[in-house]
Amino acid sequence: KRRIGVLTSGGDAPGMNGAVRAVVRMALHSDCEAYAVYEGYEGLVNGGNMIRQMHWEDVRGWLSRGGTLIGSARCMSFRERAGRLRAAKNMVLRGIDALVVCGGDGSLTGADVFRAEWSGLLQELVSAGELTEEQIKPYSVLNIVGLVGSIDNDMSGTDATIGCYSSLTRICDAVDDVFDTAYSHQRGFVIEVMGRHCGWLALMSAISTGADWLFIPEIPPRDGWEDDMCASITKNRKERGKRRTIVIVAEGAQDRQLNKISSSTIKDILTQRLGLDTRTTVLGHTQRGGAACAYDRWLSTLQGVEAVRAVLDMTPTSPSPVITIRENKIMRTPLMEAVQATKDVTAKIHAKDFQAAMTLRDPEFKE
C-alpha cells in the first residue's frame, strides 16, 4: 500500500485540522496508508514517534478545532541540507513517498527544495552507508502537494488561504466589541491586526466593520497622511456627530519612506493633535485561535481531498502542485509558480477596494 504523510508547518491557522482530517480519510478511502508527521518538519527530521500512522477514528471531531492538533514548528534544521538528509532517511525507513504539506510560502518552498534534492539525498545516504540501494529503489521520486494554511491570505494564485476567513471573523468580532466602548466614551481606538507583509486582514476587516481610517503595507499613504487622517476624523466627529473613531493598522504598515506606521504612532498623533482620548488594542494571537469558521471547514476539507487526488495523479516529471481555490473552484497550480508570484506582487489587494473602504468613511477622501 502507498503511504501518504501529512504535516502542518509555519504559523498555525484554523482549518489546518480539517485539512489533516480530509487527507487522512481520503488516503484511507483511496486504499493508501496515512501518516501524520508531528511538529512540522521537526517531526520529519527527528522521525521516531513523531511520525504516526493515522486511522479513520484518529481524526474524529477535528473539523472544527482551531490551531493544529498535530503541532507546527519553525524548524531550523530543515533549512540545512543535513536536516533534509535525516528527513529523507526517515521517510524511506517508514516507506512514505508522498507528503502533503499545509503551511505558508516558507513551508511550501521548503517542500519544493526537498523534492528537488530528493534523489541526491538518497544517493548520499547510500554512499554514507545509511541506506542500501535496495532500500531506496522504490522511492525514486518524492511526491509533494501543498495546501496553503495561513491566516494572512498572503499567497498568490488562490483566492483564500485556509484560516484567513476564521481570522477575519474573529477580528470583526473584536472590532465590534471595541466599537461599543468607543461609542460610549466617545473615544478613539487604534486596532492593530496581523498579516505580516500582507494587508488583506486589515483591509477586509476595515471594510467589514466600517472603520474610520486604515493603513496597509501595499498602499502606503501619501506624505502628510497625518494631516489627512486628522482632518477627516475631526470632520466626522465635529460636523457629522460621530462619537467613536476606529483606526485599523496592519502590523506591516509603512509610509512611502518605508518607515513603520505603528499603532502607538497613530495613537500619539490622535491624542496630541486632536486631544482625542485614544487607546490602542493589539489583537495579537486571539486572531489565530478558536474554531474554524464554516468557510475554512469546507475549504480545508475539499482541498485536503484534492491533495490526495493530486498525489495519486502525479507522474515523476510533473511539477509539485499546490491546491488553490479560484472563483469557488478547487484547483491545482504549480507550487513554485504560486510561491514566486507571491514574492513579486502585492497579491491580494485591489486599490479600488481600498478606495471604497476610505470613501465610505470620508466623502472627500483623495488618494
Does the annotation list 251 as a binding residue?
A: yes
Query: What 3 state SS string does 321-356 have?
Result: EEEEEECCEEEEEEHHHHHHHHHHCCCCCCHHHHHH
Q: Between 228 and 296, name the residue whose CB sits nearer to ligand ADP.
A: 296
Q: Between 114 and 354, name the residue whose CB sits nearer to ligand ADP.
A: 114
Does the annotation list 315 as a binding residue?
A: no
In the chain, helix, strand, coil percent, each to 5?
Answer: 50, 20, 35
Residue among 56, 287, 308, 326 nearest 152 (CA): 287
The residue length of the chain stands at 367
Catalytic (active site) residue 177: no
Choosing from 152, 212, 228, 296, which is the catalytic residue?
152
Instruction: Return the SS3 of 76.
Output: coil
Least CB distance to ligand ADP at residue 174 (A): 22
Does the annotation list 115 as a binding residue?
A: no
Does the annotation list 207 as a binding residue?
A: no
Looking at residue 144, what DSSP letter applies? Answer: E
Q: Which residue is nearest to ligand ADP (CB)?
A: 106
Does the annotation list 288 as a binding residue?
A: yes
Query: Interface residues with ligand ADP (CB under 6 A)?
Result: 9-11, 41, 74-75, 78-79, 103-107, 109-110, 113, 150
What contacts 80, CB < 8 A, 6 or more positions away?
Answer: none
Q: Between 74 and 279, name the residue whose CB sits nearer to ligand ADP.
A: 74
Q: Between 164 and 207, name the residue whose CB sits nearer to ligand ADP.
A: 164
Does the annotation list 74 as a binding residue?
A: yes
Q: DSSP letters of 222-267? A: PTTHHHHHHHHHHHHHHTS----EEEEEETT-B-TT--B--HHHHH
Least CB distance to ligand ADP at residue 162 (A): 12
Sheet holding 3-8, edge to edge: 51-54, 33-37, 3-8, 98-103, 143-148, 321-326, 329-334
Residue among 123, 38, 111, 47 nearest 79 (CA): 111
Q: Between 75 and 269, name the residue whose CB sits nearer to ligand ADP.
A: 75
Instruction: Return the SS3 of 69.
Output: coil
Q: Between 11 and 188, name the residue whose CB sits nearer to ligand ADP.
A: 11
Looking at residue 153, what DSSP letter applies? Answer: -
Least CB distance to ligand ADP at residue 80 (A): 8
Least CB distance to ligand ADP at residue 121 (A): 13
Does the annotation list 185 as a binding residue?
A: no
CA separation for the pair 242, 280 (Å, rounded): 19
CA-CA distances (angstroms) from residue 43 to 75, 128, 155, 165? Answer: 9, 22, 25, 28
Least CB distance to ligand ADP at residue 77 (A): 8
Question: Which residue ranges are tagged as binding site for ATP?
Answer: 11, 74-75, 104-107
Question: Which residue ranges are tagged as binding site for substrate?
Answer: 150-152, 187, 194-196, 251, 279, 285-288
Residues annotated as catalytic are 152
Question: Which residue ranges are tagged as binding site?
Answer: 11, 74-75, 104-107, 150-152, 187, 194-196, 251, 279, 285-288
Question: Which residue ranges are tagged as binding site for Mg(2+)?
Answer: 105
